[in-house]
Amino acid sequence: MPFTSGCREKNMAFRQATAPSGLRTGELLSADNSIPERHIIVATLRKAAPRLGLSASVISTLDAMLSCLAPKRNHHTVFASNATLTFRRNGISDRTIRRHAATLQEIGLLVRHDSANRKRFTKHSSHEGKTLRFGFDLTPLFDRLHEIAALAAEVMQEREQVDYLRAKIRAAANECLTENPSDEMALSTFRILRRKLSLEDCERILSELVISEIAAESTNDPSSSLTTTMTASDGQFVRHHHKSNKELIDKEKVALKNEKLSPTSDAPISIPELLFACPVAAEFSLKGIETMHDVVSHARTLAPMIGITSQSYEAAHKRLGALRAAATVWAIMQFHDRIRAVGAYFRSITTGSKSADFSPERLIRRLATAQSYPSMNL
């Protein structure tokens, strides 16, 4: 009995010593506690860096701090030592870590809670139900995520406009040179385009070029982007195969049979259909989804979030095409919390054993039906 009692005391001591400091109150947060993934936060910060005044090295240090936070937690305090942060930042100096922490505090993304001996640790009182946490508190960062996402969207929109104006300036200068090969303004414009230009610079340069209109420029037709079809090849080169009459007859019989069962289930999907069927995926977008390029780009961002590797995505891309592979990711995002292994499921339906009968279009339309009738199950 004394031996058993001793073991029990040791086990109790072991549990107490190794219990995660942020989980001792019994108030456990679920895995989907609305805290964005670390790589999404860092990617958003990188896009908003010009507005926040953050350098790439400071963001990397903040990324190292975020990597020290537990996935399930009820606080955002980093207790890692400078030595740990230095190791995760590939050996930068303690002085650089302190300077970056001061910069983050000055910008308003971090609050330092220093202990008397400058150590970072936590102490919990079960009697009072309170906790002392000494370290880097990243709560301001998480409180400002929506603001930072808005800044990132502004930066991306401005960058897109700058790229558009640069292309327009180049086209305008080229047309000026076509009319007058010795046009000094057009020649100097090509030299100016070698530099990094702001939006104001681009607008000023364009206003100085004497050109009425550009032949390649046209007004966007919203309906054209909304009805862009998701073809099986999607821009890929498709080799011509000559089939015998017997093969063609068999194929036609199967096609007619499938057409009778579901005449429109495999019809191309438009962007409004996709947005209606997959609102969860749409909520993660920092900008509006207007073109199929936006759909594909956003799918590549979503894929690693739910456990789909780049190799699996590229394999699906080759087999289904860019747009249909992207639509599959959008669809899985809608119900990924009900799938035990999302990566394995994605491989199975796109390139594995279930890929022969899989159709992204049918899956999207089933999700759209579920949105229209919430009581229905997929």
277 is written with which tokens? Answer: 């069927």
In this prediction, residue 210 carries a pLDDT of 65
Provide the mean pLDDT of the chain. 77
**Three-class secondary structure of residue 23 per DSSP:** helix
59 is written with which tokens? Answer: 């963001």
Mind listing the pLDDT tens digit for each residue in 199-216? 888 888 888 776 656 655
Per-residue pLDDT at 243 exceeds 80:
no
Residues 6+ apart with CB under 8 A from 82: 94, 97, 98
| Residues facing 137 on adjacent strands | 77, 111
Residue range 30-143 forms a domain whose CATH class is mainly alpha
In this prediction, residue 103 carries a pLDDT of 94
Mind listing the pLDDT tens digit for each residue in 282-324? 888 877 888 888 899 889 988 888 889 988 999 999 999 889 9
Q: What percent of the chain has pLDDT over 70?
A: 74
- Band (325; pLDDT cuts 50, 70, 90): very high
Instruction: Name the residue with higher pLDDT: 187 or 10.
Output: 187
Task: Spell out the domain ranges in the chain.
Answer: 30-143, 148-208, 228-372
Q: Is residue 342 within 8 Å of residue 308, measured between CB atoms? A: yes
Per-residue pLDDT at 8 exceeds 80:
no
Residues 6+ apart with CB under 8 A from 48: 54, 148, 149, 151, 152, 155
Mind listing the pLDDT tens digit for each residue in 141-199? 999 988 998 998 998 888 889 888 888 888 888 877 877 777 788 788 888 888 888 88
Per-residue burial over 78-94, b = 16 or more CB atoms within 10 Å of its CB, e = otherwise:
bbbbbebbbebbeebee
| Residues facing 111 on adjacent strands | 137
Per-residue pLDDT at 234 exceeds 60:
no
Rounded to an integer, the average pLDDT of 102-127 is 90
Q: What percent of the chain has pLDDT over 90?
A: 21
Spatial distance between the Cα atoms of 253 and 21, rounded to a whole number of angstroms: 65
Per-residue pLDDT at 261 exceeds 50:
no
Helices (DSSP H) in the chain: which residue ranges? 2-18, 38-52, 56-67, 82-88, 94-107, 139-143, 145-179, 184-192, 199-208, 222-226, 245-261, 271-277, 279-283, 292-305, 310-320, 322-335, 342-350, 360-372
Mind listing the pLDDT tens digit for each residue in 49-87? 999 999 999 999 999 999 998 877 888 999 999 899 999
- Band (233; pLDDT cuts 50, 70, 90): very low
